Copies of this chain bind each other. A is one copy, B any other.
Amino acid sequence: MGLIALGHKNPDTDSIISPMIVSHYSDSLFGRHAVAKRAGELNNETKFILNYLTDSTIKLPDLLDKIRAEEVILVDTTEQTQLIEGVNENNLFAIIDHHNLGGLKSSKPVYARIEPLGCTCTILYKILKEKNLEITQEVACLLASAIISDTLFLNSPTTTDEDRTILKELNKIAELDLEEYSMEMFKAKSSLEGIETNEIIEKDYKFFEMGKSKVGIGVWETVAPETVNEKKAEILNALKNKKQKDDLDYLFFGVVDIIKENTYLYLVGDEETNLAKEIFKGNLEDNVMFAEHIVSRKKQIVPQLKEKLE
C-alpha cells in the first residue's frame, strides 16, 4: 500500500514544507518511501519560498482531494475537520504535529510525535538531528522558512525558546539574511495579486466544533492590513454568504497586522459581535473590531472562544 505525507486543508507554508521534508527523509525515518501531497492550493508566501529555492531537489507536493488506498503520515494537524476525505483510523500510519490533540483514533499502534512548539518543522529538525541525518542547505532553508512563517519570524506567542534556538542553528546552514528574507516572505504573503475576495477569507481558514456550535475562523496575515481593509464591504459580504452556505453558528475573520501585532476582527453578525465584545474588548467600528496584541488564532482566539462555547 502507498504511503503519503499530508498536511491540513487550506495549507499554510508549514503544511506544504513538512510533507516535503517527511517525504525526503521517509526511508530513513520510517523505512518506507512516502510521497508528499497537499490538501489545497499554495498561498503566495509558499510560492515565494519555493521560487526562491530555484534549484530544488525536493519534489513539490501534488494536490490530493481524497484518500483512496494510501496510508497517511499526517503533519501539522490532528483535527478531523481539517483533513481531506478518507483519512481514518485504519490508514493512519504516523503523526507529527504541534497543535492540540484533535481526538483521532487508530486501529493499530502508530508513530506519533507531538510537541508544543511553534512549528511542525521545528519538531522535524529535532527528529533529523536525533537520527544524525544530513541537513543540506536546501533542507535548512525550507525548515527555516516554515518556522519563520508559523511564528511570524519568532513574534507569535506560540514561539518557544526551542524555535528561536533551532532557527539560529538552521541558519548556520541556510545562510539567509533572516530579517530581509522574512520581510520578503511576509510581503509575498500580503500580496493580493491574483487573489479573489473569497480566497482572502478561505486561504487560511479552519473549521471547529465547539460544544454544539459550528465555528469557522479565517485569518489573513499581512504586513499591509490596509490593502485588505479597503475591501471591507466586499469581505463582509463574502463572509455573510459563507456563513449561510456552510451553515455556521459563528464565523470570524481576522486581518492580522504581523508588523504592528494587531488584528482587525471582522464580525459578520450579532452573535459574533457579542462574543467578541465579551472576549476581546477592542474598539468596534462598522463591524470590524480592532484587537490589540492579538496575532495567534491557536493561542489567542481558539481557546478563548472554546471556553465560552463549550
Contact = CB atoms under 8 A, between A and B. Distances in A.
Interface of A: 89, 92, 95, 98-117, 130, 298, 303, 306
A142 B216 CA distance: 48
A126 B73 CA distance: 21
A306 B105 contact: no
Q: Which 5 A-B pairs have the closest CB atoms?
A: A109-B116, A112-B114, A101-B106, A103-B105, A103-B103
Contact of A101 (B112, B117, B298): B112
Contacts of A95: 114
B113 A109 contact: no
Q: Which of A112, A130, A298 has the most CB of B within 10 A?
A: A112
B105 A114 contact: no
A103 B110 CA distance: 13
B103 A98 contact: no
A117 B112 CA distance: 12
Contacts of A130: 130
Given A100-B110, A112-B112, 10 more contacts: A100-B107, A101-B105, A101-B106, A101-B110, A109-B115, A109-B116, A110-B114, A110-B116, A111-B115, A113-B114
Nearest to A306: B107
Q: Which of A92, A102, A106, A109 has the most CB of B within 10 A?
A: A109
A99 B109 contact: yes
18 contacts: A100-B105, A101-B104, A101-B105, A101-B106, A101-B110, A101-B112, A102-B105, A103-B103, A103-B104, A103-B105, A109-B115, A109-B298, A110-B114, A110-B116, A111-B116, A112-B112, A112-B113, A112-B114
Nearest to A130: B130
A103 B113 CA distance: 15
Contact of A303 (B108, B111, B306): B108
Nearest to A98: B109
